[in-house]
Amino acid sequence: MGELLDALNAADSETAAPAKSALDQAAELFRFASQKVNEAIDAVQQPGMPLDAISRWTRQAPLQALAAAFLVGVMTARRRRR
């Protein structure tokens, strides 16, 4: 879990350069945000990280993973209704 935090903190430490026009600035911010999301996904997919463990478990037991996802969805929906 420490490697995940280190990778995410390293991704957050970089900064984007400001653009000239509003449209250029919006495009640059979008590129920057999408790059950070991709870096976070790559960090979490590394071997031994949570997303890697979940994906391996899903490939090994797809029916059980589907049942667990359904139950989590039902519990979340019930909490929101109350």
The predicted model scores a pTM of: 0.43
DSSP state of 38: H
**Contact between residue 15 and residue 9 where contact means Cβ atoms under 8 Å apart:** no
> What mean pLDDT is predicted for residues 30-46?
90
The Cα–Cα gap between 79 and 2 comes to: 31
| pLDDT at residue 32, as a whole number | 94
- Tokens matching residue 65: 């993973």
- Residues sharing a CB contact under 8 Å with residue 58, sequence separation 6 or more, in sequence order: 65
Are 14 and 6 in contact by the 8 Å Cβ rule? The answer is no
Q: What is the CA radius of gyration of the chain?
A: 18
